Amino acid sequence: MPPLAALADERIDHRFKGLPPDASGLTVADLAAERRNLFTGGFTTPVLALSAERLEHNLALMETYTERHGLSFAPHGKTSMAPQLFDRQLRRGAWGITLAVPHQVRVARAFGIPRIFLANELLDAAALRWIAGELDADPDFRFICYADSTEGVALMNSALTDAGATRPLDVVVELAAGEGARTGARSEAECEAVADAIAEAPTLRLAGVAGYEGEVPDADRESVAAWLRRLTALTAAFDAAGRFDSEIVLSAGGSAWFDAVAEVFGEVPELSRPVLKLLRSGAYVSHDDGAYREKTPFNRVPEEGALQAAFTLWTQVVSRPSADQAFLNAGKRDAAFDLHLPQPHTIRSADGSTRPATGITVTGLSDQHAWMRTTSPLQVGEWVGLGMSHPCTIFDKWQLIPLATSDGTVTDYIRTFF
């Protein structure tokens, strides 16, 4: 049975938060076929739900966006680590999936992902040995990773040589987004030295140039575009020097500045070989109610469309100790909180009626409680729907996530692997 299909045969049990206790022992397929309602079907709070309609909207929007701007797309899978979503992204035209560490690559390969861009250096000898085996065993598998130092290139070459690799590993030189940024060679001269080292390593092949514009210090549209033009100029200079022997990979793009990536990549002149302009935005798949809502490129260019926040963490009011204070039964173990606190948007009463969560603010999170200040007539036992900020740190808290339609019908369950 294909690995993706086999997910439906997994048994529901105590590992999966929020799912109905009386579903224990059922397969995921059995439970999905019951089409239970999120609010009346025995689910327990807290429970994270992914909107079926909003997920589909976001997938479709980025598919048409990348097509319109002549970009290939390798969405960053570390956001979700959900093979079912990888599959849907590939079906929506994605070139492949971007990942960050060897474990994530192993998950992706277990589910047959044919092209992987590792937006990181890969220096671990055991991981390189495994990658070499994957490349040698599957001629259709394409794997690309970063290099930003001659020392890193030497370590990669040594490990691959020891592993007896027969296919060269594709490597892109990473240009740092400026002084004080994260990884990446800090100057064009350093990038050239890394490219020279790759050319001298028999187990490696220079595939292109890449980086991450989200690390530009004090980023704004002008500074991001200026760094992206450094990236494209470096690519053109490498090409003019005859460094490439096949398709040229040019890659950038997080979820905050992909409009700038589209603009600058659209300016790239014709080079001696075809250019794979690879965008890597990942948070779009669920979007959010915080970090990306405030600075999404679609806010800057509204005619391109709009992403929709697709997650709601449903919690319950368990304590109302004073007139202006209330506590929910969800905390750091359940909610994203690294950038912004959750934002209440809906209150659901026992009779099924709903109202906006006006006058309510989450002020802090304990391990299993959310602290709230409220001027609302909030009742103990009511459910509160919370919008999540920064989806990169919400998927990893839930192993099996109900996919629910707008009326609460749960149609499927999304399995994550962190």
Domain range list for the chain: 3-51+308-415, 114-281
Residue 164: name the closest of 189, 131, 122 by CA: 131
Q: Facing residues of 185 across strands?
A: 175
Arithmetic mean of pLDDT, 58-85 = 96
CATH superfamily of 114-281: Alanine racemase (3.20.20.10)
pLDDT, tens digit (0-9, with 9 covering 90-100), for 321-370: 999 999 999 999 999 988 899 999 999 999 999 999 999 999 999 999 99
pLDDT digits (tens, 9 = 90+) for 73-96: 999 999 999 999 999 999 999 999
The number of residues making up the chain comes to 418
Tokens of 375: 């001027």
Q: For residue 295, name the pLDDT band (cuts at 50, 70, 90).
A: low
Report the alpha-carbon angle 382-402-405, nearest 5. 80
Instruction: Single out the residue of 8, 4, 5, 37 nearest to residue 20, CA to CA.
Output: 37
Quote the CATH superfamily of domain 3-51+308-415. D-serine dehydratase-like domain (2.40.37.20)
Task: Tell me the C-alpha distance between 323 and 393, whole Å.
Answer: 32
- Per-residue pLDDT at 231: 98
Q: What's the distance, Cα to Cα, between the start and end of the chain in Å?
A: 23
Asked if pLDDT for residue 290 goes beyond 80, the answer is: no
User: What pLDDT, on a 0 to 100 scale, did the predictor assign at position 289?
Assistant: 84
388, pLDDT greater than 80: yes
Mean pLDDT of 386-402: 92
> 125-137 and 150-162 helices cross at what angle (nearest 10)?
60
Q: Is the pTM of this model over 0.75?
A: yes
Each residue of 107-140: b (16+ CB within 10 Å) or e? Answer: bbbebebebbbbbbbbbeeebbebbbeebeeeee
- Average predicted confidence (pLDDT) for the chain: 95
Does 295 or 30 have the greater pLDDT score?
30
Indicate the pLDDT class of residue 294, thresholds 50, 70 and 90: low
